[in-house]
Structure formats: structure tokens, C-alpha cells
Structure 1
Amino acid sequence: MNFELSPEIADLRQEVRVFVEDRIIPNEARIVAEDREKRRTTLDKLQAAARAEGLWVPHLPAAYGGRGLGIMGMCALFREMGRSPVGAKVFNCDAPNQGNMDLLLSAGSDAMREKYLRPLAAGEITSAFCMTEPAPGAGADPSNLKTRAVKDGSSWVIHGHKWYSTGGGDAAFLIVMARTSDDPKTGATMFVVDRQAEGIEHVRDIPTMSEPLLDHREAEFKFHGVRVGEDAVLKGVGEGFRLAQQRLVPARLTHCMRWLGLADRTLAMCKQYLVSRESFGKKLAQHQMVQLKIAEHALGIHSGNLMTYHCAAMLERGLAQEARPYSSMAKLHVARLLCAVLDDAIQLHGGLGYSEDLPFSTWYRYARSARIADGPDEVHEVVIARDFFTRGLELLV
């Protein structure tokens, strides 16, 4: 095993770190304030700067304006971007667009890539991924998929109800998961659907415990007989469940990368406070209970980093199926870690941490979704246990 980054990736990582620290973090509050007013002046300027410095969509091939980095390179860069909740958006690497780009790149037709991927990579449009449904539809259990697409001549007609389609309200297109048969393995198909297609009802953006920010507005849709052509089918009829796994395993990792960046920044902010604040006759950093919390979270961040690297290395070697339980381990661990780090950051700062003078409470509300999105904790625990009991999961790799 080699844990050293290549000189190219190491240099790029440093460039992204400096960009985030010097340009994005000082402008976070301005970007949030402008977003509330439906303006993106500061964000647009930062995106233009990222593009000019060759840091735009680095995960994509050069043909789409990127650097052609593998997933290991993404690990290094996405952690730095994740140090700010608006960081990934500046580099056009935010969810759900980044995952949709990768899916179109690997499974889309040439026409799809030209019509949707190219402007998405250029930042001219946004997208959404429509898989989750209100009960009794698909949530943690994809086999509950209720949205259905029926063949009608040379067209498909989609009926269904989706929610938590992040960014769907302003998206130019949707990737919609629908049932096309009752086969448990090949019964689902993905369709690339124009957001303005007749029959799409944007019901609302769901109010959540986290304030909407940039593309992170959770749209609810109803599909009333939405008609699409055969050319809207992604990869092929019956490929939906397989494509969902193809998208979700690396998507979990990219979430982990961004969450680790925010956890690391949070712990660094705690350090600044703990070494300066005095209580009961000594610095907070000198109290053993405080040291215990810091040690636990330092251990957790380092462990999550190694889990993410290990799983990413498996994906780079083409071991996507084998990597699935390890991606569940990483996602479960890092999602819990981020919530725990932020919860303790609030506690360690006392009244200051609970106030809005620091961003921890805002970040915590955002972070709490991490333990539900892309599979709740309990599903990942089941995956890990199942593979341990039935598939000989290797723990000492």
C-alpha cells in the first residue's frame, strides 16, 4: 500500500486548500446571504476563478473541462472542497450534479452526453436524481419502487411520485428511476427526462431542519403520464437497479470525502478556542475530559480517511461489487463522525457554540441528514453484517 499522493495530486490538493481557505471561507456568509435573495454574484465570481485556475470539475475528462482525475485524486481534492459547505459548488463538484455527471459519462449515449452532460459540466444547467419516494414507495428498500413506466408504441409513459430530489426545482433535467417490470433484479429502468416535460408537477420544496442552500433544496414531484422517447432510456431497459448501485457506491465515498473536510475544519476551530479559553484555573485544552473528546474525534477522522482511501482504491481497480460493504463501513462511520464532531464542538464552546455567532449549529442541522441520505445507518449495518456472515467479509485487508 502506498499512502503518498502523486506530485500532481499533492500540488492540486494544495491549490484547492489555498483557494478554499483564502477565497471561499471568507465569502461563505456572503454566498449564503445572496442565495436567500436568489442571487449568486459572489458564487459566480468564485466559479469563474476556479475555472480560470484549472480547478473546475477536476473529476471529469479533459473533453468536458476537467483534469481526468481518478477517484483517488477526487478523495484528495473533495476533502479540501468539503471544508466549506459551499466549497464543492464553487468547483462544480457538488451533489447531485457530480454523481449525475459520472453516471452520464459511464452510461449515457453520445446524444445524452452532448445534450445534458456537456452543459452540466460547464455549469450552464443543473440536474436532479429522482429515486426516493414517499411511503409506501422506495426509500431505504429500493424494491418498494412504485413509480412506473409503461411502453406505449415508441414511447414510455411515466406515472409516479418522488421526493427528496435534491435541486429538482431549478434543474434542467431529471434522472428518474421507474419500474418497467416486476422482476426483482431487472425490473427498474432509469430515464433522462427534461424538467419542463408535460406532466411533471413540482409539488413543493420540502421544508427540512436544515436551511435550503444553493442546490440543496429537496424537491417533491408528481409524474402525470410524462411521455418520453426510447432515447431517454439510460444504458438500457432493466438496468436501473444496477445503475443505482453503480452511482451510489462512489457517491457515498464522495459524500464521505466532503464530510471529512468539514469535520477536520470543525476540529481545527475547536483547537483555536480550547488553547485560549480558561476555565477552572487552566486552559480548556488542559482538561482531560476535553482531551478525551479531541482524541476520539482525531481518531475518528483519521479512521474515516483510511476507510475512504481503501474503498476508493478498490474502485480504481474495478472492484465495485467487492467494495460495496467497505463503502457502507465508510459511509456509516463518517456520517456518525461528522454529527458527533459537530455536537461536541457545540458543547465545547458552551453558550458560544449554541449561538449563531459560530456556524456549528447550522452545520449540525445540515450534517444530520448524512445519517439518512444514501442509505440510513441501519441499512449499512445490515449490509456489513450480511457480508460478514454470508460472504466472508475480510476485515484485516
Structure 2
Amino acid sequence: MRISQVSVRMTNEFDVISNLPGYIMDQILSGLPIKEAVRTSILSRKWRYKWSSLPVLVFDEQCTEDSFSQPHQNLVKIIDKVLLLHIGPIQKFKLSHKEFCATSDIDHWILRLSRASVEEIVLDIWNGQFYKIPTSLFNCQDLIHLELYGCLVKIPSTFEGFKNLESLDLQFIELSPDGLEALISSCPLLKHLILNNLVGITQVNLEASNLEWLDVQGAFQDVAFGVMNSLKSVTVGFSDDIANKHGPDNANTISLHKLFQNLPKIQSLKLENYSLKYLAIGNVPQTLPIEPLHLNYLFTCIDFNSVEEILTVICLIRSSPQLKQVDFQNRAKDQQTTRIGTMADFWEDHGVCCLEQVQVVSVGGIFGSELELELMKFMLTSLPNLQKMTIQPNSTCGEGKLLRELLRSRRASTQAEVIFI
């Protein structure tokens, strides 16, 4: 092929690239890492500054994947250049790089964002000390989503709230209890809330009228719910075995009665880590005074050795007329066998109850002990509309015996299917 022919072919290809419709160019740029999007400026005059109006800016490991040294410094240069040349609104700004440490450069970037009507900010500080959030962040009044990881947050006295914020994600954050309450209460449209491992906070007091989805995890001693009529999904995970710090006569704020009294529309409840043990403190009633009428999914991390925890789960099932699925995850590292006789009597006493609403059950992380087997037999004999029971052993040890025992067990539902995975 002659040089002139090659030249014509290349010219035609560049003409095609240059004459792409604007919306196609936008789609191409939005699918590229920000560093590659900037490099498209060399394609043609039409592409030169096209990247500078990108509404979504994500700065992560892809920005420095070809930098063999000083990824932190290289990332700072990239962000400085992008924000300097950027024009138009910024819908989303995300900084999440495993090699990036807290630095004062972030202060300038947030100040720039506060003037750009930004709707979403994600700051993940993985290395070094907590990054102290500047007051300029609280001037971002167009924020819809805010996500902070590894930050120190101090709410300024002049803060009047995020009036448009719908989603708040705080993980490994240091702030005061008063600051947390002030932040949540000043977000009237808040629908999604994640609180994970908050430094310096042992008790969480929550009240948000429009909140629909809540996930609270960490070394908390208590979680107090105000009346939240919109809340549909709740996940609570006490990471410490704090139940041992409470005597049986000590009333815990998150009692079964108060939990459902203040959350009348809850549909999904996940009790992770030691949360079920905490709820089981004190006398557990057979049924709740106020039924969770909308609860259809229940997950519990359970110690099968604990009569109190088992009673708590049965109470929840009995009291939830719309409950369709119950998932158990074994929390105990080993299964005791000293209480088998007592537990056999226990299941005989409770075997008369009929739990018609439950259709799907799963049991995970089990060791094949008699205690676990008795619970599964109880479910098979007490759930007349059970369709499927999924069992996931912690190991293959005892799986054959479990299967044989369950296959021989009487079933209240003729359609019940037992599946081992």
C-alpha cells in the first residue's frame, strides 16, 4: 500500500472519530478512567476539551496504574489538573486510592467542589491518620449522597444541614455523639444511612422520619430508635460480645418491644454478629405485644447453644404474620453437647406451635451437632407451607448423617425441599 493511501485511510478514520455525535462521545468518555478520558484530547480539535465537562470524576488506582513510584504525588497532580481545567457542573467526585494518605490538598479540592453544585462526594482515606473534614464540605448544599471513610468530622456551629441529602455512609469515622445526632437530624430527606465502626461513639440515638434503609455496625453498647415510620430495612451488628456486660435485670434500650414499636413498617431485619444475643437479654415473651405486620425477611447470626437466642427467634417468627423467609447463620465456633437432654425437652414443649407463614429457611455455617439438627427438625415439623430449606455445613463432617436424619424427619409440608450446598 502506498504512503498516500495510508494517509487517506488514517484521515478518514480520524474524520469518523471527530464527527461522532456528541452523545456518543459522552458515552465513550463516561466509560473511561479519568486519566484515559483526558488523553482523548489528542484525538482531534473536537475532542480536545470534551473531557473537561465530564460530570463524574473518579480518582482511584486506575489513575496511577502505570506509575511505578510516588503514586500519591502523581494522583495529586492528576486531580489538580482535572479540577483546574474542568468546566460545568460536577455531579460526582470520588477519591478512593489505597496508596493515598490524608493531605491538605483535599481541602482545596473540596473548596472547589463546594462551588460546583456537586451532588455526590465519596472520600475514602485508606492510609495514615484520619483526614479532618474542612468546613467547606458543609457548604455543599446540593449534596444528595455523602460517603466518608477514615475521616475526622466536626460539625461547625454554623451548619444548617444538608437539605437535599438522601444517602449518608460513614465508616471508620471519628466524631462526637452530639455531632452525629446533629448531622442526621439536619438531613430531612435522608433515606439511606450506614454507620460502621464510629470512633468515640458507644451509643447511637436515631430518629429520621424519612429514613427507609439503615445499617448500623460496630462496637456499640446500645442503639436507640426513635419513631421512624418510613424505615423498611434494618441491619444491626454489634461487633463486641457486649451482652456479657449486662445483667439479666438490666433493661436494654433496643428491646424487642421497643424495636418494633418504633419501626412499624419494617420489612427486613438482619441481626448480625452479637445483636441477637443482645436482644435476648432478660425475659423473652412468647409473642410481641405489637406485631411487626410488614416483616417478611429475618436474618439472624445465632448461637445454637443458647436457649435464650432460640426463644428470641421463635418469638420473632410467631409475631410476624407476613414473614416469608428466615435465614440462620451459626455464630458459635463450636457446639456444646452437654444440654442435649434439656434441649430435647425444650423442642417438645414448643413443637405444638404452627408457623404457617414461613416458606423459605436457610441454615449456614453449621457443624452437624444435635442442637442444630433439632432446630432444623423443628422447622420441618412446624412450617406447613415450607417450600425450601437450604443447609450449608461449615465442613463436610457429619453431612451424610445430617442428610439421613432430615430425610427421615416428619414434615409438616409435603412440598418441602431440603438442599445441601
Same fold, TM-score > 0.5, yes or no = no
When normalised by structure 2's length, the TM-score is: 0.21
Structure with max Cα Rg:
2
Question: Going by fraction, where is strand more abundant, 1 or 2?
Answer: 2
When normalised by structure 1's length, the TM-score is: 0.22
Q: Which has the higher contact order (CA 8 A, sep 6+)?
A: 1
